């Protein structure tokens, strides 16, 4: 082991000085889009994440302006994509709550809203 | 519990640290047996039961590894379900985690590796030893799929996984090898009859150590590049600070290894070989303790959100 401690760490520090990366499941984008307005109630909400998800422990709930659950309760997960069908919930602000487990066993959660109606 | 500004879940970190260290030691002693002791260095002195001693260590490490692995699995199932531990250990919950998550599948595959490994340990043939080594490499390498690398998407994920598997193997070779080396040096004591044997063993281990260190540096750099993201993040996140503590311990280990290789190893051939052998044994033992401390940090690192996470948040 002819390397000194300094030469051992130098390449690491050099490489660390550049580069971008990602880890864990974060919301990448959603349909309907976060904070946007749509004319009619969507038939489903779909979320795309930055990581692969565990179907058994990932779910979405959606409530309408009146605070009523309008998702079917059957979240579908495929790779890093997750969606849930909706029942019609009228105009107003819809709240989307999501809770996901990425395959590296870390949970993340979040929420956003979108508007339905003119 | 607070480490470097990070909230640490003590039971989970302890279970993971013990599991990683024990798994690495089991695999590392097998790697040592395959690369340093076989083919047998000549002239081989009447080795005082070193073979059975090493086998004992492997059995003990496997037992600790299985027990701590079970603890890790149960604690992880609790964390995944978000339930209190008493509710999470319900058979249904454990079964769901085992059947329906990547973590469960990997732990099951690793359990199969342990069973194969344990079955092979009872036999002396070369084929059985090779199968035992392969099972041990599978047992340790598969840990990569339980961690951050297992969830990195796309081609970057493949690179990350490959780097992590190599990192785990190299860490096992170095740690388990150190333990085997210390046991061997202690077994032979200052016996002048064993001087030449000792030199061959130490030189071979030195080569193994050098290969391990090179692999650890390259794979660790790739891993950090993906999970830390920037030099700034190394300083401002708990993950980054813990990683720096790990690097500091690693640097200390390298310094000890350099002293062993550059100063003590050449003296094994001198008239004062007995004293050099004693010092080498002590230094290797200290190096081993530092390696165990590194595993404690690794146990915590995997439970934290990597620094790069905060670039996205």
Q: Which of A27, A75, A49, A101 is nearest to B77 (CA)?
A: A101
User: What percentage of chain A reaches a pLDDT higher than 70?
Assistant: 79
Instruction: Count the neighbouring beta carbons within 10 Å of the beta carbon of residue B223.
Output: 23
User: What is the reported pLDDT for B81?
Assistant: 82
Q: Which of B120, B14, B23 is nearest to B63 (CA)?
A: B23
B224 touches chain A (CB under 8 A): yes
Contact assignment for A20 to B80 by CB distance below 8 Å: no
How many residues belong to chain B? 313
Write out chain A residues lying below 8 Å of B247, CB-based: 9, 12
Contact assignment for B148 to A23 by CB distance below 8 Å: yes
Contact assignment for A102 to B151 by CB distance below 8 Å: yes
Nearest CA in chain A to B233: A16
Write out chain B residues lying below 8 Å of A11, CB-based: 217, 221
Instruction: Summarize pLDDT for B81-124 with one digit per residue, the tens.
Output: 877 777 777 888 899 999 999 999 999 999 999 999 999 998 87
Among the partner residues A5, A20, A54, nearest to B251 by beta-carbon distance = A5
DSSP secondary structure, B265-299, as one string: HHHTTSTTHHHHHHHHHHHHHHHHHHHHHHHHHHH
A23 touches chain B (CB under 8 A): yes
Determine the Cα–Cα distance for residues B143 and B137; give it in Å rounded to an integer. Answer: 10
B96 touches chain A (CB under 8 A): yes
Interface test with A, best of B98, B151, B216 (most A CBs within 10 A): B151
ipTM over 0.85: no
Q: Given the structure tokens 């079964």, which residue do they identify?
A: B95
Determine the Cα–Cα distance for residues A19 and A29; give it in Å rounded to an integer. Answer: 23
Domains assigned to chain A: 22-116 (2.60.40.1220)
Q: What is the 3-state secondary structure (H, E, C) of chain A?
A: CCCCHHHHHHHHHHHHCCCCCCCCCCEEEEECCCCCEECCCCCEEEEEECCCECHHHCEEEEECCCCCECECCCCEEECCEEEEEECCCCCEEEEEEEEEEECCCCEEEEEEEEEECC
Determine the Cα–Cα distance for residues A19 and B279; give it in Å rounded to an integer. Answer: 43
Residue B259 φ/ψ, nearest 5 degrees: -65, -45
CA distance to partner chain A, nearest, from residue B306 (Å): 7
B153 touches chain A (CB under 8 A): yes
Determine the Cα–Cα distance for residues B141 and B117; give it in Å rounded to an integer. Answer: 14
- What string of pLDDT tens digits covers the 313 residues of chain B? 565 555 668 899 999 999 999 999 999 999 999 999 887 766 666 655 788 899 999 999 999 999 999 999 999 998 888 777 777 778 888 999 999 999 999 999 999 999 999 999 988 788 999 999 999 999 999 999 998 888 877 788 899 999 999 999 999 999 999 999 999 999 887 777 778 888 889 999 999 999 999 999 999 999 888 877 777 878 888 888 889 999 999 999 999 999 998 988 888 888 778 888 899 999 999 999 999 999 999 988 888 877 665 554 4
Contact assignment for A11 to B221 by CB distance below 8 Å: yes
CA distance to partner chain B, nearest, from residue A65 (Å): 27
Instruction: Summarize pLDDT for B24-34 with one digit per residue, the tens.
Output: 999 999 999 99
Write out chain B residues lying below 8 Å of A57, CB-based: 80-81, 101
Cβ atoms of B47 and B198 closer than 8 Å: no
In sequence order, which residues have a C-beta less than 8 Å from that of residue B62 and are 6 or more positions away?
A: B22, B26, B114, B117, B118
Among the partner residues B81, B156, B231, nearest to A16 by beta-carbon distance = B231
What residue numbers bound the domain in which B237 lies? 2-312
Determine the Cα–Cα distance for residues A103 and A98; give it in Å rounded to an integer. Answer: 16
In sequence order, which residues have a C-beta less than 8 Å from that of residue B216 and are 6 or more positions away?
A: B167, B170, B171, B174, B250
**What's the CA angle centered on A75, arms A72 and A78, to 5 degrees?**
150
Q: Provide Rg for chain B, Cα atoms.
A: 20
User: What is the reported pLDDT for B2?
Assistant: 64
Contact assignment for A21 to B229 by CB distance below 8 Å: yes
Q: Extract the tokens encoding B182.
A: 């210390």
User: How many structural domains comprise chain B?
Assistant: 1
B77 touches chain A (CB under 8 A): no
Determine the Cα–Cα distance for residues A51 and B154; give it in Å rounded to an integer. Answer: 10
Cβ atoms of B291 and B20 closer than 8 Å: no
Contact assignment for B309 to A2 by CB distance below 8 Å: no
Answer whether 0.80 is exceeded by the pTM.
yes
Q: Is the dihedral of CA B143, B144, B147, B153 positive or negative?
A: negative
Q: How far apart are the first and last CA of chain B?
A: 25
Determine the Cα–Cα distance for residues B57 and B180; give it in Å rounded to an integer. Answer: 9
CA distance to partner chain A, nearest, from residue B128 (Å): 32
């Amino acid at each position: 082991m002819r390397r000194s401690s300094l030469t051992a760490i130098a390449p690491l520090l050099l490489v660390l000085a550049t580069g971008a990366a990602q880890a864990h499941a974060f919301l990448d984008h959603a349909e309907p889009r976060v904070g946007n307005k749509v004319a009619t109630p969507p038939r489903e909400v779909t979320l795309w994440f930055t990581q692969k998800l565990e179907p058994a422990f990932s779910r979405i709930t959606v409530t309408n302006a009146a605070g009523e659950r309008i998702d079917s309760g059957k979240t579908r997960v495929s790779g890093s994509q997750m969606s849930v069908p909706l029942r019609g919930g009228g105009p107003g602000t819809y709240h989307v709550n999501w809770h996901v487990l990425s395959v590296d066993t870390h949970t993340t959660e979040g929420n956003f809203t979108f508007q339905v109606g003119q | 519990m607070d480490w470097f500004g990070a909230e640490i879940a003590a039971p989970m970190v302890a279970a993971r640290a013990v599991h990683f260290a024990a798994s690495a030691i089991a695999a590392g002693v097998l790697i040592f047996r395959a690369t340093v002791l076989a083919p047998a260095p000549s002239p081989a002195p009447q080795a005082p039961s070193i073979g059975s001693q090493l086998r004992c260590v492997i059995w003990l490490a496997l037992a600790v590894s299985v027990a701590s692995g079970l603890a890790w699995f149960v604690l992880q199932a609790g964390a995944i379900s978000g339930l209190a531990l008493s509710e999470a250990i319900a058979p249904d919950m454990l079964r769901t985690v085992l059947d329906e998550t990547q973590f469960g599948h990997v732990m099951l595959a690793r359990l199969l590796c342990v069973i194969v490994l344990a079955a092979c340990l009872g036999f002396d043939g070369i084929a059985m030893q090779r199968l035992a080594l392969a099972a041990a490499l599978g047992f340790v390498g598969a840990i990569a799929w339980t961690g951050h690398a297992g969830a990195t998407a796309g081609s970057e994920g493949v690179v990350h996984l490959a780097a992590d598997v190599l990192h785990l193997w190299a860490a096992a070779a170095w740690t388990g090898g150190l333990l085997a080396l210390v046991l061997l040096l202690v077994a032979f004591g200052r016996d002048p009859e064993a001087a030449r044997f000792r030199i061959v063993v130490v030189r071979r281990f030195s080569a193994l150590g050098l290969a391990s260190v090179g692999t650890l540096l390259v794979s660790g750099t790739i891993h950090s590049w993906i999970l830390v993201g920037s030099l700034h993040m190394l300083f401002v996140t708990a993950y980054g600070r813990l990683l720096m503590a790990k690097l500091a311990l690693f640097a200390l280990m390298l310094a000890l290894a350099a002293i062993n290789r550059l100063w003590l190893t050449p003296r094994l051939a001198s008239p004062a070989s007995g004293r050099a052998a004693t010092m080498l044994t002590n230094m290797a033992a200290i190096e081993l303790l530092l390696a165990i401390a590194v595993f404690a940090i690794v146990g915590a690192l995997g439970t934290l959100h990597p620094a790069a996470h905060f670039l996205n948040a």
